[in-house]
Structure 1
Amino acid sequence: MSNVMSLLAQWLPQQRWFAGDQTPQQLELVGSYELPAPDDDTSVRLITVALVRDAARPETPTYQVPMVIRDVDAHLDTRGYIGAATEHGDRAALVDGAHDPAFARAIIALIGDEGQIIGADAPGAPGVDVYGQPMPGARVAEFASSRILQGEQSNTSIICELQHENGDPAVPLIVKVFRAIHPGDNPDVTLQTALAASGSLRVPPTFGQVTGVWQDPERGQVSGHFVFAQEFFSGVQDAWRVALRCAESGEDFGELARLLGEATAEVHATLARVMPTVDASSDEIETAVAQMHRRFDLAVEAVPELEAMRDDVTEVYAHAGTVQWPRMQRIHGDYHLGQVLAVPDRGWVLLDFEGEPLRSLDERNLPDLPQRDLAGMLRSFDYVSGALSVRAGREVGREWADAARDAFLAGYLSNLAAQDVVEAVGRDDLAALLRAYELDKAVYETLYEAQHRPEWLPIPVMAVQRLSAPDAAHAAASVERSR
């Protein structure tokens, strides 16, 4: 295993989902489990999944790395090639399991058969127990092929093509492999499963999940989600591409934005019905506002020009802490146009309920304000016009973004009313909260852009200035116009 760990230590920093760019100083095997190799593919020697972490930096995540060991002369996807391993003295090819169909096939079978694997202890590390849990009534066809979904950063999704016994294509699956694993429930699994179980058409049908039990070096025995599988919608576009195309061509997006608001309200109402809700306590309000202030402090360190806006930002946050808050509930948590698909005969479908990546799993599993989701989508409309502005070298699309936000909020509020969801908070208080959360989101974006896309930094900086200006009634006006 030492040869494999050495290869992984060199390979991990090259992966988009790996936190940081440093080679692990002391890569440690936390645990592992093996999946059955296919009988009809004799080039596969072993399918194993390792949980590893950098023992020299215990604050870094524990990573899940599926691996397939194949004969060196087998056909390999070079994008998933890790290196040449040594097995019992023989040379073999070590492949990232996400790129190898043998792993995808085995994990689908584990879920569909409601299988369980009680992991045997590996040299220097305890075994990992894993359990396949299909959605009640879920059926899977025969595995045909698999490929990686390109463009992801924090996880790896595998598109699995399936077929019926007669060879006809069946509904494909998307299998999301969580790379950084954490003890506890992953909201991407729990929230989408709850929505699907309620009969909601606003999320893809769920196929099932893989959960695991392992020995965490700090916490002892823990459990969490390893894999989540659901139906895959082929040939559809996300809302970002649809909105950007409309903005580029001058096409009206108002009706689509209104329908998106309705879909968002439907999801919020369903989550409030099937998941716990709580009243916002004074401590929770103080904590939420304090987090906004802390995020602004971090943003000022990265973007010093924000310091000139501190007094105005502080006033917006302080006002939000004095108004009445609605009940807190489970929400999407990282809502933007890229998290929504335009699906024929189904409308807008929401994806990726993991929540904001920089927040801890414990935080992402807490009830929150729906205004966080609304603010995220409003900022996404602003980014459409911002993307056009970056391309044009001047600000364009401002009217388009304002019209989209108005239509979105109108659809949201009207659908809440249609579902008999009574607003217990006045419109002025809701507007104050929405303004604070949209400002907080823009501040978060300045941190991200400063680190990753400096050429896009003016987009959130201008938003912070606009939303914090004393005479700004941006959120309030949007709420008022949408009623």
Structure 2
Amino acid sequence: MTKTVSPRPRTVGATGPMASLAGLLREWLPRQRWFAGKDRPVTDLGLLSMTELFTGCLHLLVHAGHTGVPGPGGDPAGDCYQLLLGVRQHLAPRLGRALIGRAEQGPLAGLAVYDALQDPRSAQLLLERLRRPGTAGPLVFEADPSVEVPAGLVPRVLEAEQSNSSLVYGDEFILKVFRRIQPGVNPDLEVPGALAAQGCGRVPAPVAWLRTTHPQEATLGVLQPFLRNASDGWTLALQALASGGDFTAEAHQLGQATAEVHLALASAFPSGPHEENARTAAAMAERLDAAAHCVPALRPYVPGLRTAFGALVACDPGPPAQRVHGDLHLGQVLRAGRDWFVIDFEGEPSRPLDERRGTRSPVRDIAGMLRSFDYAARQRRPWRPEWARRCREAYCAGYASRAGWDPRKKHGLLRAYETDRAVYEVLYEARHRPDWLPVPMAAIERLAVRGG
């Protein structure tokens, strides 16, 4: 890692520009895919930092608050978000989709404000900052000196739905810009870097990254190699379903890849003790109650789901707790040629960063992938439960062939973690994709009524 200091650019004051931006952002933020508080109105916006990254582009960290809903310690509930805003007099037609609005008051009155990540010029200038490590006010740009990033790579924005924003440069590198910011090192920087040091080839290594030192240390973005000829597991699974093809060979190899990543994680990070099943079960039950409070459709199944958590208390504790992926599913794996790669180690963005960086049972990741096979199978009618069942069996068999233990022999653990995952999915879909809610609800019915 190398670091040089460049001349410090002008840091814009907090008073004037927000008079122009606050009204626009209150309307724009809740419409964004990555905004976490869609079910609560933005009642106040607090500016945490604002820096003119380059001419016509402002970098902001803002706190979106929700009055009346207490947060930790009694503070107003809300989240910190990273924004890159372009400001100009005239907006080119090609940037029409990026428009946030035209400021009506304050120092930016009359100017068009837009999402600068959608602007190729701004995206290229952002890459240039990553190519040359240095500082910009509270922003720090750092890079792996052993990797050369060419200049002039053409950027494009990935349109896939996700909880962050991603830019691909010349089909050679991909930059993930984190939107919801929490203090600390983001696992999507920490974990791939540690795995690269272990020689694990299943995970693309970080090339450059962006962080802030104010108001607290936090990771803002990570640049990694882009696997240009790869397809994600979700797309491949749906293609197999559409053609009536089998996916068990791919699922078996994916299980092997998952086990290899878990073994590398166990070597790269200190392992924890076995999770206390009673404490884990209590936490799962607490999440179930919170989800049922928010999603009425879940409430009739609560008693049956609690049996899965109650049975966990008497189970074999299983493998030791260790660092895991935290949000593993078919959309988080890529296949290039005959090889599977694992990406997106950020974990579940809705959970606290300290929790996502903690040690967990590897069964958590396995349960996430098993749920994903079920998600895929339910994308086509008629539903093909046997397709999901075969994939689940093949995946577990592949995992067992590398890990030295078989997830299928940990039925109580697997059922509890799969139930916990399905509860998370219900809450997620209810908030973000209501049309998808029947998918996890079908699993909820299975897990509650038939016990797995």
TM tier relative to shorter chain: 0.7 to 0.9
Q: Does 2:343 align with 1:333? A: no
Q: Does 2:15 align with 1:7? A: no
Q: Distance in 2 between matches of 1:113 and 1:50?
A: 21
Q: Give the structure 2 partner of residue 54 of structure 1.
A: 64
Post-superposition offset of 1:240? 1.0
What SS does structure 2 have at the residue aligned with 1:61?
strand
Q: Distance in 2 between matches of 1:46 and 1:457?
A: 41
Q: Does 2:51 align with 1:33? A: yes
Q: Does 2:392 align with 1:405? A: yes
The aligned runs of 1:292-303 (5 Å cut-off) are: 292-301=284-293
Post-superposition offset of 1:29? 1.4
Q: Give the structure 1 partner of residue 222 of structure 2.
A: 228
Post-superposition offset of 1:265? 0.4
How many residue pairs align between the two structures? 424
The aligned runs of 1:356-395 (5 Å cut-off) are: 356-389=348-381, 392=382
Structure showing greater radius of gyration is 1
CA contact (8 A) 1:10 1:23 kept: no
What RMSD, in angstroms, separates the aligned Cα atoms of the two structures? 2.6
Q: Does 2:421 align with 1:441? A: yes
What SS does structure 2 have at the residue aligned with 1:105?
helix
Post-superposition offset of 1:272? 0.6
AA partner of residue 348 (structure 1): W
CA contact (8 A) 1:66 1:103 kept: no
AA partner of residue 467 (structure 1): L
Q: Give the structure 1 partner of residue 11 of structure 2.
A: none
Within the candidate set 242, 253, 259, 2:253 is matched to 259
* Identity across the alignment (%): 38
AA partner of residue 360 (structure 1): P
Q: Give the structure 1 partner of residue 167 of structure 2.
A: 158
CA contact (8 A) 1:33 1:50 kept: yes
Residues 183 and 206 from structure 1, CA distance in 2 versus in 1: closer, same or farther, beyond 3 angstroms? same
Residues 319 and 96 from structure 1, CA distance in 2 versus in 1: closer, same or farther, beyond 3 angstroms? same
Within the candidate set 230, 234, 243, 1:240 is matched to 234
| Structure 2: gaps spanning 5 or more residues | 1-16, 68-75
Q: Distance in 2 between matches of 1:260 and 1:440?
A: 22
| Structure 1: gaps spanning 5 or more residues | 38-44, 120-128, 162-170, 216-221, 418-422, 475-483
Residues 313 and 109 from structure 1, CA distance in 2 versus in 1: closer, same or farther, beyond 3 angstroms? same
Q: Distance in 1 between matches of 2:314 and 2:263?
A: 25
CA contact (8 A) 2:66 2:78 kept: no
Greater RCO (CA < 8 Å, at least 6 residues apart)? 2
Q: Distance in 2 between matches of 1:240 and 1:312?
A: 30
Q: Distance in 2 between matches of 1:212 and 1:315?
A: 45
Q: Distance in 2 between matches of 1:313 and 1:60?
A: 30
Within the candidate set 149, 152, 155, 1:146 is matched to 155
CA contact (8 A) 1:110 1:131 kept: no
Cα deviation 1:279-312 (Å, max 9, x = unaligned): 0354xx4332112112222344455565554444
Post-superposition offset of 1:276? 1.7
What SS does structure 2 have at the residue aligned with 1:142?
coil
CA contact (8 A) 1:12 1:23 kept: no
TM-score normalised according to structure 2 size: 0.86
What SS does structure 2 have at the residue aligned with 1:341?
strand
Q: Distance in 1 between matches of 2:293 and 2:31?
A: 28
Q: Give the structure 1 partner of residue 346 of structure 2.
A: 354
